[in-house]
Amino acid sequence: MFIYAQARALSIDCEDLLSIDDQSGFRNDFFQRKNKLNELKTSYAHKKMYFLYAFLSICKKINSATLTRRLERNGFFIQKGDATFFDDSLLAKIKYVLKKKPVYLHGYWQNEKYFAHHKKRLVEELSPWDDYVINNKNLNKITFSNSVVLHIRKNHNKSINGEKKSSTKKLLSLNVDYYKKSIGIINARCKNPHFFCFGDDKRCFGEIFGNKKNYTIVDINDKYKDSDIRDLRLMSLCNSFILSNSTFCWWAAWLSKKQSKTVICPSSDRYFGCGAIASDWIELQ
Protein backbone atom coordinates (compact mmCIF):
# COMPACT_ATOMS: atom_id res chain seq x y z
CA MET A 1 0.00 0.00 0.00
CA PHE A 2 2.90 2.35 0.65
CA ILE A 3 4.34 2.00 -2.84
CA TYR A 4 0.87 2.54 -4.29
CA ALA A 5 0.40 5.70 -2.23
CA GLN A 6 3.81 7.09 -3.22
CA ALA A 7 3.41 6.26 -6.90
CA ARG A 8 -0.23 7.37 -7.04
CA ALA A 9 0.66 10.73 -5.50
CA LEU A 10 3.29 11.20 -8.21
CA SER A 11 0.86 10.22 -10.96
CA ILE A 12 -1.65 12.78 -9.66
CA ASP A 13 1.00 15.50 -9.32
CA CYS A 14 2.27 14.93 -12.85
CA GLU A 15 -1.06 13.91 -14.41
CA ASP A 16 0.50 10.68 -15.62
CA LEU A 17 -0.57 7.05 -15.84
CA LEU A 18 0.31 4.59 -13.08
CA SER A 19 1.37 0.97 -13.56
CA ILE A 20 2.34 -1.33 -10.68
CA ASP A 21 4.08 -4.68 -10.63
CA ASP A 22 1.96 -6.13 -7.84
CA GLN A 23 3.35 -9.68 -7.99
CA SER A 24 7.16 -9.79 -8.28
CA GLY A 25 7.82 -8.52 -4.77
CA PHE A 26 5.65 -11.26 -3.28
CA ARG A 27 7.28 -14.20 -5.09
CA ASN A 28 9.59 -15.08 -2.18
CA ASP A 29 7.79 -13.39 0.69
CA PHE A 30 8.69 -15.00 4.05
CA PHE A 31 5.15 -14.51 5.42
CA GLN A 32 3.55 -15.81 2.19
CA ARG A 33 1.56 -12.62 1.78
CA LYS A 34 -0.29 -11.72 -1.41
CA ASN A 35 -1.04 -8.39 -2.98
CA LYS A 36 -4.67 -7.30 -2.54
CA LEU A 37 -4.65 -3.79 -3.99
CA ASN A 38 -7.23 -4.93 -6.53
CA GLU A 39 -9.69 -5.52 -3.67
CA LEU A 40 -9.56 -1.82 -2.76
CA LYS A 41 -10.73 1.23 -4.74
CA THR A 42 -7.34 1.65 -6.35
CA SER A 43 -6.65 2.99 -9.84
CA TYR A 44 -3.66 1.52 -11.71
CA ALA A 45 -2.65 -0.81 -14.51
CA HIS A 46 -1.23 -4.25 -13.67
CA LYS A 47 2.18 -4.83 -15.17
CA LYS A 48 4.56 -7.73 -14.47
CA MET A 49 8.17 -6.57 -14.40
CA TYR A 50 9.89 -9.48 -12.66
CA PHE A 51 13.20 -9.15 -14.49
CA LEU A 52 13.30 -5.40 -13.82
CA TYR A 53 12.48 -6.05 -10.16
CA ALA A 54 15.30 -8.61 -9.91
CA PHE A 55 17.72 -6.28 -11.70
CA LEU A 56 16.99 -3.33 -9.41
CA SER A 57 17.23 -5.60 -6.34
CA ILE A 58 20.75 -6.56 -7.41
CA CYS A 59 21.64 -2.91 -8.04
CA LYS A 60 20.49 -2.04 -4.54
CA LYS A 61 22.82 -4.67 -3.05
CA ILE A 62 25.74 -3.33 -5.09
CA ASN A 63 25.10 0.11 -3.55
CA SER A 64 27.29 2.03 -6.01
CA ALA A 65 26.86 5.82 -6.16
CA THR A 66 27.98 5.86 -9.79
CA LEU A 67 25.49 3.15 -10.74
CA THR A 68 22.72 4.92 -8.82
CA ARG A 69 23.29 8.20 -10.69
CA ARG A 70 23.28 6.39 -14.03
CA LEU A 71 20.06 4.57 -13.18
CA GLU A 72 18.35 7.77 -12.03
CA ARG A 73 19.25 9.57 -15.26
CA ASN A 74 17.41 6.78 -17.07
CA GLY A 75 14.38 6.96 -14.79
CA PHE A 76 15.13 4.09 -12.38
CA PHE A 77 14.95 5.11 -8.72
CA ILE A 78 15.88 2.84 -5.82
CA GLN A 79 14.83 3.93 -2.35
CA LYS A 80 17.82 4.92 -0.25
CA GLY A 81 18.29 3.95 3.38
CA ASP A 82 15.68 1.90 5.22
CA ALA A 83 12.01 1.45 4.36
CA THR A 84 10.96 4.73 6.02
CA PHE A 85 13.74 6.88 4.52
CA PHE A 86 12.58 10.25 3.12
CA ASP A 87 14.64 12.64 1.01
CA ASP A 88 13.23 15.88 -0.41
CA SER A 89 15.96 16.07 -3.03
CA LEU A 90 15.26 12.52 -4.24
CA LEU A 91 11.56 13.29 -4.58
CA ALA A 92 12.33 16.46 -6.52
CA LYS A 93 14.65 14.49 -8.82
CA ILE A 94 11.95 11.89 -9.49
CA LYS A 95 9.43 14.60 -10.44
CA TYR A 96 11.98 16.32 -12.69
CA VAL A 97 12.75 13.12 -14.63
CA LEU A 98 9.04 12.22 -14.78
CA LYS A 99 8.35 15.34 -16.83
CA LYS A 100 10.55 13.88 -19.60
CA LYS A 101 10.10 10.10 -19.40
CA PRO A 102 8.47 7.29 -17.40
CA VAL A 103 10.06 6.53 -14.03
CA TYR A 104 10.34 3.22 -12.17
CA LEU A 105 10.31 3.15 -8.37
CA HIS A 106 11.84 0.28 -6.40
CA GLY A 107 11.51 0.03 -2.63
CA TYR A 108 8.96 0.40 0.15
CA TRP A 109 8.64 4.22 0.45
CA GLN A 110 7.00 3.83 3.86
CA ASN A 111 6.80 7.50 4.84
CA GLU A 112 3.66 9.59 4.54
CA LYS A 113 5.69 12.65 3.52
CA TYR A 114 5.73 11.21 0.01
CA PHE A 115 1.94 11.21 -0.28
CA ALA A 116 0.21 13.00 2.64
CA HIS A 117 -0.61 16.01 0.43
CA HIS A 118 -3.12 13.77 -1.37
CA LYS A 119 -4.47 12.14 1.79
CA LYS A 120 -8.16 12.77 1.12
CA ARG A 121 -8.01 11.12 -2.29
CA LEU A 122 -5.77 8.25 -1.17
CA VAL A 123 -7.99 7.48 1.81
CA GLU A 124 -10.85 6.95 -0.61
CA GLU A 125 -8.82 4.80 -3.00
CA LEU A 126 -7.18 2.61 -0.33
CA SER A 127 -10.27 2.03 1.80
CA PRO A 128 -11.99 -1.36 1.41
CA TRP A 129 -15.58 -1.35 0.18
CA ASP A 130 -18.27 -1.28 2.87
CA ASP A 131 -19.64 -4.54 1.45
CA TYR A 132 -16.85 -6.33 3.31
CA VAL A 133 -18.40 -5.54 6.71
CA ILE A 134 -22.05 -4.90 6.01
CA ASN A 135 -23.17 -8.07 7.84
CA ASN A 136 -20.32 -8.24 10.35
CA LYS A 137 -21.48 -8.84 13.92
CA ASN A 138 -18.98 -6.30 15.28
CA LEU A 139 -19.98 -3.42 13.00
CA ASN A 140 -22.79 -2.12 15.25
CA LYS A 141 -20.59 -2.42 18.34
CA ILE A 142 -17.87 -0.38 16.67
CA THR A 143 -20.32 2.19 15.30
CA PHE A 144 -22.19 2.82 18.55
CA SER A 145 -19.33 2.74 21.07
CA ASN A 146 -16.20 4.77 21.74
CA SER A 147 -14.28 2.16 19.80
CA VAL A 148 -10.52 1.66 20.13
CA VAL A 149 -8.40 -0.73 18.06
CA LEU A 150 -5.80 -2.76 19.94
CA HIS A 151 -3.62 -4.69 17.51
CA ILE A 152 -1.09 -7.43 18.22
CA ARG A 153 1.18 -8.87 15.55
CA LYS A 154 3.41 -11.33 17.37
CA ASN A 155 4.41 -13.58 14.48
CA HIS A 156 5.42 -10.56 12.43
CA ASN A 157 8.52 -10.28 14.61
CA LYS A 158 9.74 -13.85 14.13
CA SER A 159 12.24 -15.05 11.61
CA ILE A 160 13.97 -18.33 10.83
CA ASN A 161 16.68 -17.28 13.30
CA GLY A 162 14.27 -16.41 16.12
CA GLU A 163 13.30 -13.00 17.51
CA LYS A 164 14.15 -10.02 15.35
CA LYS A 165 15.96 -7.04 16.87
CA SER A 166 16.17 -3.42 15.78
CA SER A 167 19.40 -1.62 14.93
CA THR A 168 19.51 -0.52 18.58
CA LYS A 169 19.34 -4.20 19.67
CA LYS A 170 15.83 -3.85 21.09
CA LEU A 171 13.51 -6.82 20.69
CA LEU A 172 10.80 -5.88 18.25
CA SER A 173 8.04 -7.84 19.96
CA LEU A 174 5.99 -5.50 22.11
CA ASN A 175 5.44 -6.56 25.70
CA VAL A 176 2.33 -6.28 27.85
CA ASP A 177 3.62 -3.06 29.48
CA TYR A 178 3.47 -1.24 26.14
CA TYR A 179 -0.20 -2.10 25.77
CA LYS A 180 -1.06 -1.28 29.39
CA LYS A 181 0.60 2.14 29.11
CA SER A 182 -1.28 2.74 25.87
CA ILE A 183 -4.58 1.78 27.49
CA GLY A 184 -3.83 4.23 30.31
CA ILE A 185 -3.41 7.04 27.79
CA ILE A 186 -6.63 6.10 26.02
CA ASN A 187 -8.54 5.99 29.34
CA ALA A 188 -7.30 9.50 30.17
CA ARG A 189 -8.36 10.87 26.78
CA CYS A 190 -11.52 8.92 25.92
CA LYS A 191 -14.77 8.49 27.82
CA ASN A 192 -15.91 4.89 28.28
CA PRO A 193 -13.67 3.35 25.63
CA HIS A 194 -14.36 -0.14 24.35
CA PHE A 195 -11.35 -1.99 22.95
CA PHE A 196 -11.62 -4.14 19.83
CA CYS A 197 -8.72 -6.58 19.76
CA PHE A 198 -7.25 -7.69 16.44
CA GLY A 199 -4.19 -9.85 15.87
CA ASP A 200 -2.62 -13.27 15.68
CA ASP A 201 -1.92 -13.98 19.36
CA LYS A 202 -5.23 -13.87 21.23
CA ARG A 203 -3.70 -15.34 24.40
CA CYS A 204 -2.16 -11.94 25.16
CA PHE A 205 -5.47 -10.13 25.43
CA GLY A 206 -6.43 -11.76 28.72
CA GLU A 207 -3.06 -10.83 30.23
CA ILE A 208 -3.45 -7.24 29.04
CA PHE A 209 -7.00 -6.66 30.32
CA GLY A 210 -7.17 -8.97 33.34
CA ASN A 211 -10.69 -8.97 34.83
CA LYS A 212 -11.88 -5.94 32.84
CA LYS A 213 -14.77 -6.54 30.49
CA ASN A 214 -14.53 -3.54 28.16
CA TYR A 215 -12.97 -5.40 25.26
CA THR A 216 -14.04 -7.60 22.37
CA ILE A 217 -11.78 -10.07 20.59
CA VAL A 218 -12.48 -9.89 16.88
CA ASP A 219 -12.26 -13.41 15.53
CA ILE A 220 -10.59 -14.02 12.19
CA ASN A 221 -12.80 -16.48 10.36
CA ASP A 222 -10.47 -18.52 8.18
CA LYS A 223 -13.27 -19.57 5.83
CA TYR A 224 -13.13 -16.06 4.38
CA LYS A 225 -10.22 -15.56 2.00
CA ASP A 226 -10.65 -11.80 2.43
CA SER A 227 -10.71 -11.81 6.26
CA ASP A 228 -7.75 -9.40 6.33
CA ILE A 229 -9.62 -6.89 4.15
CA ARG A 230 -12.64 -7.23 6.43
CA ASP A 231 -10.47 -6.56 9.46
CA LEU A 232 -8.84 -3.55 7.80
CA ARG A 233 -12.24 -2.01 7.10
CA LEU A 234 -13.52 -2.65 10.64
CA MET A 235 -10.36 -1.21 12.17
CA SER A 236 -10.49 1.92 10.02
CA LEU A 237 -13.99 2.67 11.34
CA CYS A 238 -12.83 2.86 14.97
CA ASN A 239 -12.31 6.10 16.89
CA SER A 240 -8.78 5.53 18.24
CA PHE A 241 -5.88 3.12 17.84
CA ILE A 242 -3.20 1.26 19.77
CA LEU A 243 -0.83 -0.02 17.09
CA SER A 244 1.63 -2.88 16.96
CA ASN A 245 4.73 -2.57 14.75
CA SER A 246 2.81 -3.64 11.66
CA THR A 247 1.98 -1.92 8.39
CA PHE A 248 -1.47 -3.51 8.54
CA CYS A 249 -2.66 -1.55 11.57
CA TRP A 250 -0.61 1.51 10.45
CA TRP A 251 -2.87 1.76 7.43
CA ALA A 252 -6.04 1.17 9.44
CA ALA A 253 -5.17 4.22 11.56
CA TRP A 254 -4.10 6.33 8.56
CA LEU A 255 -7.31 5.49 6.66
CA SER A 256 -9.53 6.43 9.60
CA LYS A 257 -11.61 9.55 8.87
CA LYS A 258 -12.13 10.35 12.55
CA GLN A 259 -10.99 13.93 13.13
CA SER A 260 -10.24 13.64 16.87
CA LYS A 261 -8.68 10.18 16.91
CA THR A 262 -5.87 9.22 19.28
CA VAL A 263 -3.21 6.98 17.72
CA ILE A 264 -0.53 5.36 19.89
CA CYS A 265 2.37 3.54 18.23
CA PRO A 266 5.75 2.00 19.17
CA SER A 267 8.89 4.11 19.03
CA SER A 268 10.54 4.28 15.61
CA ASP A 269 13.47 2.03 16.62
CA ARG A 270 11.03 -0.81 17.25
CA TYR A 271 9.02 -0.23 14.12
CA PHE A 272 11.26 -2.25 11.82
CA GLY A 273 10.43 -0.11 8.81
CA CYS A 274 6.70 -0.61 9.27
CA GLY A 275 5.94 3.01 8.42
CA ALA A 276 7.40 6.27 9.65
CA ILE A 277 5.46 7.76 12.54
CA ALA A 278 2.64 9.85 11.09
CA SER A 279 1.93 13.39 12.26
CA ASP A 280 0.00 13.77 15.53
CA TRP A 281 0.57 10.16 16.62
CA ILE A 282 1.79 9.41 20.13
CA GLU A 283 5.08 7.50 20.16
CA LEU A 284 5.79 5.21 23.14
CA GLN A 285 9.29 3.95 24.00
Domains of the chain: 2-126 (no CATH), 132-284 (3.40.50)
Report the b/e string of 58-69 with b at 16+ CB within 10 A: ebeeeeeeeebe
Percent of the chain at pLDDT > 90 equals: 44
Question: What predicted TM-score, i.e. pTM, was given to this entire model?
Answer: 0.86
32 conformational bin, left if phi > 0, alpha if psi -120 to 50, beta if neither: left
pLDDT in tens, 161-218: 445 554 445 556 788 899 999 999 999 999 999 999 998 777 788 889 988 889 999 8
* Average pLDDT value for the chain: 84
Pick the more confident residue, 234 or 157: 234
Average pLDDT rounded to a whole number, residues 49-64: 90
Amino acid, res. 34: K
Lowest mean pLDDT of 5-14, 39-48, 73-82, 161-170, name the range: 161-170
In 3-state terms, what secondary structure has residue 58?
helix
